[in-house]
Amino acid sequence: DGGITQSPKYLFRKEGQNVTLSCEQNLNHDAMYWYRQDPGQGLRLIYYSQIVNDFQKGDIAEGYSVSREKKESFPLTVTSAQKNPTAFYLCASSPTLGEAFFGQGTRLTVV
């Protein structure tokens, strides 16, 4: 089954804690993306990667970090520097400049 898998579906973070969201794809796509969505809002780009071992900041990268050590994987770490991390996080992948497909998303809540 080809697709994009995000885990976990729900995640709870304590104040001051770092958490890592997983994103794996088996579509052989070169590009991968992380977006944040707040209630009633569109998607804001956090980080994107067009190729293994390379990634670029999006519009709201502060307080987040990523790695792209394998083509299939693009994990996102929400650090303690992100002061308002409660949101719906979406990972996507695409061929270069092509159609992007999304995972099911991770809902992160600060407790």
* Closer CB to other proteins, 33 or 74, in the complex: 33
Give dist(CA 25, CA 95) in Å, integer: 12
Q: Binding of other proteins at residue 48 (CB under 8 A)?
A: yes
Size of the site for other proteins (CB under 8 A): 25
Q: Binding of other proteins at residue 28 (CB under 8 A)?
A: no
Q: Binding of other proteins at residue 84 (CB under 8 A)?
A: no
Stretch of 18-26, 40-48, 60-68, 72-80 lying at the interface with other proteins (CB under 8 A): 40-48
Nearest to 9 by CA among 104, 94, 109: 104
Give dist(CA 8, CA 111) in Å, integer: 16
* Closer CB to other proteins, 77 or 88, in the complex: 88
| Residue 94, phi then psi, degrees to nearest 5 | -155, 160
